[in-house]
Amino acid sequence: MCDTLSLRKANHIPGLAAAVVKDQDIAWSTGFGSSHFDTGDGATFKAVTADTPFWIASVTKTFLGLLFLQLEEESVINLHNRINDMPGWDSFCGRLSNSNIIFGENLHCDTAITIWNVLNHTVNGEPGTQFLYNPIMYSRLSRYIEYVYGNPIAAAEGRQNTMARFIQENILGPADMDRTMSSMWQREKALVFFDMAQGFEYSDGGFSRKKHLERHLAGGAGIISTVHDLAKYDIALDTGTLGSDQLMEKLFTPAEAPDGTKLPYAFGWYVQDYKGEKLIWHYGWDEKAGFSALYLKVPERNLTFILLANSEGLWWGNPLDEAKVEKSLFAQLFLSHFVFSTK
């Protein structure tokens, strides 16, 4: 606990929520610091707890991977269908490939790119051959769901989009995640939005508030949750509540290149081996909103570590083409105390 407090302060995190799940039970959870404070005189302070909602940023991708596998199992979606066939593809992909950002590099818009490729971040280069984390392409998945169901995105009219509704019905409901919003249009969970931590940026020796968040659920981000609810999600994943054994095995099985090389990603999860342990994880990082997250599973030990923060302080700069969770000081603290110290 003292080490966590020291890391929180050293990494300029106003508020941090943490949970550990062991053998499908919440073994420990707590909060540190503040979810809100007045950046002027410090008069407003709201303590973080394990039930404080945070923007979980790219941890949302884990929900998307699961949802698409559920829909595939129900024969609603074929993951080998081309995302190229959806309306607006040529314009979107053309802009991305002609931009100067890395996510558009070596992107061949006329080549067949499947939903499977997008879910496993194997769209750049020859699709299916190499891994490059591509959140912009992942964000198209919400539009693909709307395309499949013939239901235009409804945010402008104040209604949930189809993917947000599916996540509520297929994942949040069954896992009893009542402090989680699948999008900020989910009116029945308005209290989650009002209780959500404020995002902050640290610079010049002080904190400043970040902007308000988007309301819709895109493919790569959009969910608000708590460490308690993410612990419930973790337990539901590991107890078969959210899918068959076959589906769960597929969810955590990394993609392979044509030559048999295992790639470091599987349907919304990074997968890597580290010092003889299989690690399954995802980070969240949104510099515009001022939030970061870490969700780390050690499956052979039935052990999970979850962190949510209201600044960028949990982000460690993971490479776009590798899985290196051990570079996170918070992950390293957890692994050294709870995994490798017992070997």
The answer to whether the predicted template modeling score (pTM) of the entire model surpasses 0.85 is yes
217-222 mean pLDDT = 80
Residue type at position 343: K
Q: Residue 10 CB: number of other CB atoms within 10 A?
A: 10
pLDDT at position 2: 54
Answer whether residue 213 is part of any domain: yes
**Residues 321, 231, 334, 336, CA torsion sign:** negative
DSSP codes of every residue in 293-306: EEEEEEGGGTEEEE
Residue 46 in any domain: the answer is: no
Q: CA-CA distance, 143 to 35, in Å (whole number)?
A: 32
Residue 111 included in any domain: yes
DSSP tag of 252: T
CATH number of the domain at 108, please: 3.40.710.10
Q: How many C-beta neighbours within 10 Å does residue 295 have?
A: 25
User: Confidence class of residue 154 from pLDDT cuts 50, 70 and 90?
Assistant: very low
Number of H helices, E strands in the chain: 11, 12
| 48, part of any domain | no
Q: How far apart are CA 171 and CA 228, in angstroms?
A: 15
The neighbouring-strand residues paired with 114 are: 82
Residue 74 Cα to chain centre, angstroms: 24
Q: Specify the number of domains making up the chain.
A: 1
Q: Is residue 79 one of the residues assigned to a domain?
A: yes
Element (H, E) at 292: strand 291-298
Mean pLDDT rounded to a whole number for the chain: 90
236: domain range?
2-39+54-342
Q: What is the pLDDT of residues 9-23, one digit of tens each?
A: 899 999 999 999 999
Q: What length is written for the chain?
A: 343
pLDDT at residue number 108: 94
Task: Identify the pLDDT of residue 198.
Answer: 92
Name the residue among 285, 308, 234 with its Cα closest to residue 54: 308
The answer to whether position 49 is within a domain reads no
Q: What is the pLDDT of residues 29-63, one digit of tens each?
A: 999 999 987 655 555 678 999 999 999 999 999 99
- Give the residue among 256, 243, 293 at the shortest CA–CA distance from 66: 243
Cα distance between residue 201 and residue 182, in whole Å: 25
> Is residue 248 situated within a structural domain?
yes
Q: Is residue 160 part of a domain?
A: yes
Please, which pLDDT band fits residue 155 given cuts at 50, 70 and 90? very low
Which strands, in side-by-side order, build the sheet including 269-274? 45-47, 26-37, 15-22, 303-309, 291-298, 277-286, 269-274, 265-266
